[in-house]
Structure 1
Amino acid sequence: MFLAPVLEKVQGLVTHHFPWDGPKPAAWEAQLAHVRRWLTQETVIYRAVATALIARMDPILANLQQQLPPHEQGRLFYRLDDRHVLKTPDSILEKMARRWVDTRHPPPISFSNLDELSDLGRFRIVTNFLSDVELICGHLEAPYDATKREALSPPQQLLWREFSLQGNRFEDLISIEPRSRKSGERCRKAQFTPKAFAHRGCRVEVQILTVLQEAWDKKDHVLIYERRRAGLRVDERHEQLSYSLSEQLYLADYLFDQLKQASAPPEARDGVIP
């Protein structure tokens, strides 16, 4: 249920901005239940799009795993996390309410332009090392680089034929310079759209991140993000601590990559001094 700080805005969205195509229920609970059902129906297509996108990416990732050096065979390379593909109706309403700053004007995101929310459909590719993130990211971006198109594998060609990649690249939230960093989130992030449904704007967000970055995100999500989303006060010191922990985990990721390189056979090293 919505907490008091966002409840008023959610009520305004549901009562005054939902496109009622029949009699509007008098009771708030009935109105909300109707809108929840409507949002569930409207977003179900994102599950189908995410499933199709996973089917195109998985062979690319599996091929990369098969190409790992012999001494790395059998280790964790990646896993696809699609347990929370769809954003829940309440999360959608809360996000719409958060963006509605001035209630004297119509909400910037309403029921007619839901596709402007980039994470209605989403999944993650979780890797072991930072270098795995970059390797995977490079092979998923390659189909959208015209200079590399002739060297694409069949799975990469299928991905390019069926999906477009916004900006032809993944946003880099890992190596962004400190003065430009707004949060402790670290990942590579992109939006893919099926070309057959481009007119509907059915974007699916894909994040590539390490297990340590995912661990930080799951804790920050509960302790910081969820509280802010509910309109509750977040202690600035807690935010600072969470941000600092993100930096420390990035350092751990970086050093683990150095150890991986240093412990590799001499012919597999990439200029790293043991």
Structure 2
Amino acid sequence: MTGVSDRAGSGGASRADLVVPGYGHGLRDVVRSRYLLKLLVQKELRVRYRGSVLGLLWSYVKPGVQFVVFYVALGVFLGLEQSERNPAGLPNYAIYLFSGIVLINYFNEALGNASRAIVSNGGLIKKIYLPRELFPIASTWVSAVHFVPQIIILVVACLFSGWSPTILQLAAACAGFLIVTMFAIGLGLLFGAVNVYFRDAENLVDMLLMVATWASPVLYPWLLVRDKLGETFFLIYQLNPITVAVETFHFAFWLPTTERAEAIPPNLLSLWIPVALVTSGLMLIIGQLVFRRLEGRFAQEL
């Protein structure tokens, strides 16, 4: 035998058709495998609520309890809620708080689940080959399913507060959701791949999620950051895509119920939303590159 032919017979595949086993086409394979993605999402939901009495109602209970705790501690005890005794506080602080909580909860759940998705599905990955990106994406999709009931509650609460948003404000909220989704998927792909080789990645993600709620203006107005730490630090603070995303939700849901336009960062629409979209997009690309670099040995490492 003198060599390998470019085609193995008249019905064979060319060298260009062959691929290294264990490698796919990245996120493009997720689009092509939409049916598999749907099955994985359904499986995740069934497994998560197996044996649960409340089931999907936990999507209402958990953020509700979280909201009450933060509202009493910060709005009442620390005086962030505007009142007759505290006119300097934020009006409709309950709307301000909950609009940030629903978005940061979505990010925390999406990133936490995506970073563990590969290890959690190790048994399936070792048995058959399918696009491995499906697992972090499915986990993010499940988080989006849990996000829907929370956003419905937020909209209803806003309507009772006289909510009358503009098209621009609603578009900003959609941009905020897109920013968080891309950022969570990018980080999820990155940490999900690293976690296969170094399980310390899970602990690092837990630390990041613990900090995330306080590193963005979910519980407090951005004015406190500027007043306490100055304009220079505030510029750095705004480079965090989650900060910008949370402010887009305040702009869309809280601002139409108040007259406190100064509580929204300047240049949010013209500068910071485009910057956050680019930053999240770059994070998505980096996460995908690292994931594809490491996925070849997932089955062996698991």
* Structure in which a larger fraction of residues adopt strand: 1
Larger radius of gyration: 2
Structure number having the greater helix percentage: 2
TM-score by length of 2: 0.32
Question: TM-score scaled by structure 1?
Answer: 0.34
> Which structure exhibits the higher relative contact order, with contacts defined as CA atoms closer than 8 Å and separated by 6 or more residues?
2
